[in-house]
Every structure is written in C-alpha cells, then in structure tokens.
Structure 1
C-alpha cells in the first residue's frame, strides 16, 4: 500500500466516514444499494472550513487519493464542474466501492461480525446431531424469538423434541414448546412435516335450504350468511350455503378431511343422502357441481373468489347478487377505498369466471366504487 493511501486512511475525517461504511455493512451484509456520501459541509466539514481545524491535513488531497485508488467513485458531478475543486462540485457524491470492504476491515482492524444465522448454526451443534435431517431443517430455518437467546430457544426446543406425548396440532405444540407462544411453528413447513404437525382445521358453517339442494354458494360474511338462512327468497332454495369466513375458505387444506370441519346448522334441511353426497364430493377432487361465491364488491372480495377457484375450479360469481350490488353502487350507495381501511387492497386482473372478468373487474377498475355485502336486501336479489 502506498504512503499516500495509508495517510488518507489515517485522516481522522476520512476515518470517521469509512468506519460509518463498516457500520452499515455490519448492519446489512448483503446490500442492495451502494453506500454513498454527499459532498457537503455536513459530511466533510473540514473540506469546506479548513481554517477551523488547526491540523496539518489536506482533506481534498486525501479524498482524491481514495478516488485514484478506487475506494470511492465520484458520481453526479456536472461535466462543466469537472476541473473545479471538490468543494465547488455541485450535487457530487462519493460512492463506496463494495469490493474494498475487506481492505477497510484490515486497515481499521474490524473483522466481519457473525450473522444471526451463523451464530444459530454454531449453537445448534450443541443440541442436535449434525448431518441429521432435523439438524438440516433447523439450520435452514432457525427459530429466532425476540428477547430470547439462541441458547434459551434451543434448550426449550430440545426438551420438546424429546417429549413423547405430542399431539398433531401445530399451535398446541408450539405453545407447549416455547413459553406458551402458539404461533412460533407457523410457516415452518419442513419442521412441521418432520413431526407430522397439522394446522388447525378450517371450520365451516353449512346450511341446506331444501331436502335435495345441490348448488353450492360460498358467502363471504357471517351476517349475510345468517340473513340468507333466514330469508324466504326462493333463489336460495336449491343452495347449500357455506360461510366462507373471508379468506379462511381459500386455505389449500380445505378439501382434505383433516384440513377442515363442516358444521351443519341444526335447522339444515338436507336429507341424509344429499348431505352424505355433499360431504363425499367436498372432500374429493371433483368439480362437477355448480359452485358460486358472493362477497363484498371490492378488490378483496374478487381476490377471495380467485383464491377459492384454486380449490373449486368450477366456481363462479353469484351473478344475481352482484348485478344488484353494481346497480346500488351506481345509485350512490357505495364508498371509495380511501373512505375506509381498504387502501392497500389490490385488484385481481383475471379469474376463471367470465362474468367476473367481463363485468366485476372492469367495473371496480374504472369506477373504484365499493359496496359491502351486508348492505344488500336479501329479498331483492
């Protein structure tokens, strides 16, 4: 390393900036954006007011040395300012060259900090056998719990793993393992499969309007589901009504027997044959029945419909109800997304339902008028 570069690294003003660079690398090892510093008196005060620092230091010279040695690159300086001193270059930035990180660490004796995941892997070896399937799973997907050390977490996990009386319920076992916290095992797919842990089943309320009802109608909201049960509107007579509970019915496990539970209302009019046929069909891959969805007239309602189609490919929008909702929305009985907490909703661009693609999506995209399902007079459909 040449003497000029070494001297530049020793410059206290530059040393301060370059240690800030290392601080940023310590916080985020893999950086999407490069680290930059605007050439101004906030970052380089001694460059702009050298007489206030009684030092035998030429900051401008040292910065140029760093530029010549590819520690920094100069960006955004105007071409007409090319031959001006650094203090006169407008809108200029010093951008650190990431490949020089190791050199900086050597100069300032600051080795790379171990990542949280590295520390987890090292501690993991004290509790579980290396090269085992469980070790691989835990190494790939650590359990990081706020305010708990890796050692505390692994001690708890070790005790739980060696416990014999486990249930199959994911959140039950998570709570038993980690200080009563039931959601720690959530989204740990490989771990849960290893121990054969299951998500809680989706609970669905079901009501048949007649003895031999055959059409299936998912209804997004509980209040509307209840109103449809009580309604004398004959349009629902041939329907088996299911309360979708918003997104709950879109779960992938819905049509697996361990993944959901069907609860038939005590006033359900389905006879045994129809009920048994429905249950058999529900827990199958068949899509030969008429299946409909009715929810809120908003972006999220269409999103639920689209996701339900992953389980029921024949599912379509319940046209009579949506036609009425569009009419009511155009008559002024509607709201905009900014009027509620729906600003973050995104509109699905395509579904397997022609009516939804041709009518509902264009209406919502153009008009941006929303109407909650509960507004609708069930008797008017």
Structure 2
C-alpha cells in the first residue's frame, strides 16, 4: 500500500492531523459533491498563525500532500491583493482515491469505535438539544481525557443552566470539571444546540483602563501600557486617555454597552461615559509606528470613524525613521505583520504608511518620551 512502512514525521504535527481528519470526516458524511475546503483563518488557522512558520507549513502542504502523495489538488484565487498570502482563499479538493491512505495515516478504520460511541451518546441525549444533536453529528468535539459520552453528557447539562445567565467561562467551568476555556469560540455550536436560549449566555465584556479628567474635550487612545502611564503622569491638557492594550480596544464592541472601563484615581467617570465617544476637539490614537499599529488605527475607525493618528506622538517617530533609526521587522519578530494598505486617516495614509514602506523599519512608541510632545492634543 502506498505510504506503508515509511516514516512521515510531519504526520505528527497536530495541525496536519486536524486538517486530514476534517477532510476524512467530511468524506464519511452523506454528500453529493466532492469534498473541498476553502482556506481561510477559520478553516485552516495554522496558516494564519504568524508566530509560526506559515511559509514552511504551506510548503509542506504543496510538496507532500499535493505533489508527492496527491491527497488533494489545489486551486488558487486569482483575485488576491499584493499583501495577501498566495494560499488565501485557495480551494483544496480531496481526491476520491485518497481515502484508504488517509485512514492508514490517521489510524481510523472504516468502522470507528470512537465515532460509534460518539453517535450513540448523541442519540441518548438528543432530547436535550433543539436540533437533536445534529450539530454534534456534523462536528465531533474531542477533548483530552474525556470520552465521547462524557463530552455529550456535559453539553446536555448546559440546558438547565441557561436560565442562570452565566457567562461562557462560567458555564464551561461548571460542566467540564472546572475548565473554564473549553467553550471559548464555540458560541455558534451552542446556538445550534440550544437555539434562542443560547442568547441568555452573558457575553464577556471588554475591559479597558481610562484616565478621565473633569471637563476633558478630546480623547487619546494609547496602544502600550508604559506610554499610557507616562502620559497619565503628565497628561496633555483637557485630554482623556484610554489604554487600548494592543488590539483589544480595536474590537468592534468597544462602543457597545457591554464595554467596561476601569478608571484611574482622579477620573470623572460620569463625564467620561457621557462624552468619550464624541469629544468636541476630536479623538486620536498613538501606538507603535509599524504595520500592526496602523492596523489598530484602521480597526478603531470602524467603531470611531473620526479617530486620527496623534501627530504630536507620531511626528518625532516619523522624524527618527527618516533619520535612519528603527528596527527591521525580523529583528523584533514582526516579519509577519501585513501592510493594512489604508487606514482612512489622511495623516497616516499620506505620511506614516509611505514612510514604513520606504524605510522598511519600525519603531515602538515606548522609545519616545511623551514629555517632549506638545501639551495640546491635535491631529
């Protein structure tokens, strides 16, 4: 048999096994079409984890799974933008004659006792789910140390707890032996299993730290903690400061009623809640001078359309970049950062992003003391 007796070290990679298992499970379901997979951050997250060697992972797919073993074919998307990875939105198509090879690699015989246990457990608890467990039949949830029966029993126990309006982490801790993270990223599954009742699960609020002097008329969002605290010590006049904690504040829910603010001593919390989204003198962002910082600005503008790059913070950084200062992306583990192309802020799009592309160097904001910035915030 093809592949028999040969040691394939890459088969031990968890992301490879997860990909092949997903394709095989799709092959086992009733279907009228070929098994295909469109590559994106949801379907194949291993290729979008830019802290790992995604180029090497894609090379493995092309050389081993496509060319050598011919497990599947690949069709590329011809409409990609220059900054996108070549495999984004590509389609993998499983070859019909690959089933036996996949079963051999994965140690998954045609009659799988684990799958049989899983399906039997769903049948026993079908009355607990509005879809009678169909979502679980399509997507088997495997957890280390748990049998299929234990997983399905735990999920069925969610129903009676929904009336208590618990958070996702609270639910998970109660049904999975104190492990609060099992249900993370699984709200879609719970919605299929429990329908509208899943809406009673409390969404985890976004928690942000703020400094809000009485009567402020402008807002400055700061990316990094040290720079935020330095500005709090000598704050620009009439300016509220908000710590974004990297990308956290760029979430679309920053302006939702579920967002919570922790205020530093001396803040006027009531005035902040009334004023922060619409300060008369405007809102601004200051972060690292790199592609990630510019991407935070771009994302923030989806919730706060008027926000702009803070010129007093960025201009000294821009001058330093033009003078030859800064680090190359690979010197700081930033080589996977992608150019956001545009942020919607004229200053960022007209000066900051072009400078980054020209000099191919980055600067972190902590290297610039806000004490040297003008006392007034302005764009």
TM-score normalized by the length of structure 1: 0.65
Cα displacement (A) at 1:374: 0.9
Q: What is residue 213 of structure 1 aligned with on the other side?
A: 216
* Contact in 2 for aligned 1:174/1:181 (Cα 8 Å): yes
Cα gap change, 1:367/1:151 in structure 2, threshold over 3 Å: closer, same or farther? same
Matched, 1:365 2:357: yes
Within-5 A mapping of 1:46-57:
none
Q: What is residue 153 of structure 1 aligned with on the other side?
A: 151
Distance 1:139 1:287 in 2: 51
Distance 1:319 1:335 in 2: 21
Q: What is residue 232 of structure 2 aligned with on the other side?
A: 229
Cα displacement (A) at 1:294: 0.4
SS of equivalent to 2:334: coil
Distance 1:309 1:122 in 2: 49
Q: 2:2 aligns with which of 12, 17, 28?
A: 17
SS of equivalent to 1:217: strand
* RMSD (Å), alpha carbons: 3.8
Q: Comparing 306-315 with 327-336, which one deviates more in the overlay?
A: 327-336
Q: What is residue 168 of structure 1 aligned with on the other side?
A: 166
Matched, 1:250 2:250: yes
Q: What is residue 240 of structure 1 aligned with on the other side?
A: 240
Distance 1:185 1:161 in 2: 14
Cα displacement (A) at 1:18: 8.4
Within-5 A mapping of 1:165-314:
166-190=164-188, 191=190, 194-195=197-198, 196-209=200-213, 211-231=214-234, 236-258=236-258, 260-268=259-267, 270=268, 275-282=269-276, 290-314=282-306
* Contact in 1 for aligned 2:252/2:300 (Cα 8 Å): no
- The superposition leaves residues 38-73 of structure 1 with CA deviations (integer Å, 9 ceiling, x where unpaired) of 9xxxxxxxxxxxxxxxxxxxxxxxxxxxxxxxxxxx
Q: What is residue 66 of structure 1 aligned with on the other side?
A: none
**Runs of at least 5 residues in structure 2 that lack an aligned partner in the other structure:** 6-10, 12-16, 25-34, 38-64, 71-93, 103-107, 374-379
Q: What is residue 51 of structure 1 aligned with on the other side?
A: none
SS of equivalent to 1:204: strand
Distance 2:372 2:155 in 1: 57
Cα displacement (A) at 1:135: 3.1
Q: What is residue 31 of structure 2 aligned with on the other side?
A: none
* Contact in 2 for aligned 1:288/1:314 (Cα 8 Å): no
Cα displacement (A) at 1:267: 2.1
Cα gap change, 1:34/1:320 in structure 2, threshold over 3 Å: closer, same or farther? closer
Cα gap change, 1:295/1:128 in structure 2, threshold over 3 Å: closer, same or farther? same
Cα displacement (A) at 1:307: 1.2
Cα displacement (A) at 1:143: 3.2
- The superposition leaves residues 69-91 of structure 1 with CA deviations (integer Å, 9 ceiling, x where unpaired) of xxxxxxxxxxxxxxxxxxxxxxx
Within-5 A mapping of 1:114-129:
120-121=118-119, 123-129=121-127
Distance 1:335 1:182 in 2: 39
Distance 1:238 1:194 in 2: 45
Cα displacement (A) at 1:321: 0.9
Cα gap change, 1:34/1:322 in structure 2, threshold over 3 Å: closer, same or farther? closer
Distance 1:253 1:118 in 2: 41
TM-score normalized by the length of structure 2: 0.65
Matched, 1:342 2:334: yes
Distance 2:310 2:299 in 1: 15
Cα gap change, 1:115/1:339 in structure 2, threshold over 3 Å: closer, same or farther? farther
Distance 1:289 1:221 in 2: 23
Aligned residues: 291
* Contact in 2 for aligned 1:287/1:312 (Cα 8 Å): no
* Contact in 2 for aligned 1:207/1:229 (Cα 8 Å): yes
